[in-house]
Every structure is written in structure tokens, then in C-alpha cells.
Chains A and B, each alone.
Chain A
């Protein structure tokens, strides 16, 4: 996990609520990423940011939003528009092409 932290580890949300997942890194990496992982599957890219105040949609951005106001932080908001938000969410940061991951947040919608 290195210097990447995600909080909380477990998160429960009621349907119709927005929720924000935290990701912080102290590795001085420029690029940060959010992935979603469903049981028995690989990782799918939600959003990524190459530099502060800039971010791009990944493959499954619908129902999610992000901000990158600081180099160290890349929070992910799961909105009520995300129809199936229950999943394991992973944040990563990268130096050149190598990505390093945080410990993940497991989100469950009740």
C-alpha cells in the first residue's frame, strides 16, 4: 500500500444517498486513479487525474464524480445516479507507468 491511504475501509449507504470516498497519497505522485472491482473480476477504471485541477473519465464514469484540488488528494463521490454502487473501490497513484494501490474501500448499498 505504501503511502496511499483510503478511508473508510467499510462504508454503508442507503439508496438515494451520495457518498464520498477518500484517497490520500504522500508519494508526491502526479497521477491518481479510481477503480472499481466487482467479485471475481478485474479492475475497471472510473476516473483518473494526471495533474492537479484536471481529470478525465475512465471506462465507467457514469454515476461518479471526482475532484483534484490538491496533489495529495483525489476524492471519489458515488452519486445516487450510480445504479449498482456496491463494490470494492481502489485508488492508485503512479510514477511514470507504474501504479501503486491503496487498501481499498468496500461500499455496500443497503
Chain B
């Protein structure tokens, strides 16, 4: 079946560096993608989204890139801070609001 996966289970970065978290998706019919941040013991927090008719979308310190040709999604975090340490999930959806989540990537920010 369709699935959303992540290339790297753990990403370690130095404080102040830029982080890039990658995600592959398999369903070319997906029309909406979301990135969530989940801190330990808490619910996922919406970060940014992008629709399939866009290639790039920017938020505050975050950018999401969508490459439909290779079915690839990435989340870029600029000037990574200790508070960015969390697990990041990508999710895709197509019809009926059913989200398909990846397993997540843990981002560890070191001083």
C-alpha cells in the first residue's frame, strides 16, 4: 500500500547550523503534505504544509520543498536551536482527510 517513509532516523546537528530532514512518499496522487514536530510526551505540532501544486513554501525559519518528480519532501530548518530538538514527521493525504504518517526522524541539536 501507499506509505510515507524517512531517509534518516536520527539527525545530529550543531546549534546554529541548518538542518535538512528528508521524506519519501510513494503515492503520486497525494495532493497535500504536512510536517509535524513532536516533543517527548506531547502531541504532534503542525509546522508547515504544502500542496502538490507548489514546489516550495517558507515559514518562520522553516522551508518545505516538494519534488514531485522523485516523490520527495524535505524540511529545512535555518539556524537550528536547542528547542528544535524533537521528532519530525512528514504526512501525506489524499481524499477523505486520511493522513499517512512516516515513522519520524529524531533531530538532536548539540551546543
- The interface of chain A, by Cβ under 8 A from chain B, is 1, 4, 6, 31, 40-43, 45, 48, 50, 58, 90, 94, 96-104, 106
B43 at the interface (CB under 8 A from A): yes
Q: Residue A99 contacts which of B41, B42, B97, B102 (CB distance < 8 angstroms)? A: B97
Contact of B43 among A42, A50, A98, A101 (CB under 8 A): A101
Q: How many Å lie between the Cα of A107 and that of B96 in the bound state?
A: 28
A103 touches B103 (CB 8 A): no
Residue of A whose beta carbon sits closest to that of B6: A42
CB distance from A89 to the nearest CB of B (A): 10
What residues make up the interface of B, taking CB atoms closer than 8 Å to A? 32, 34, 36, 41-46, 49, 89, 93, 96-99, 101-104
| Contacting pair B46 A97 (CB below 8 A) | no
Interface centre among A4, A42, A103, A104 (most CB of B within 10 A): A42
A100 to B46, CA, bound (A): 7
Given A41-B103, A43-B89, A97-B32, A48 and B43 contact (CB-CB distance below 8 Å): no
Q: A42-B89, A42-B104, A43-B89 are in contact. Are A99 and B99 (CB under 8 A)?
A: yes
How distant is the Cα of A6 from the Cα of B41 in the complex, in angstroms?
Answer: 13
Please measure, in the bound complex, the distance between the C-alpha atom of A97 and the C-alpha atom of B92, giving whole angstroms: 10
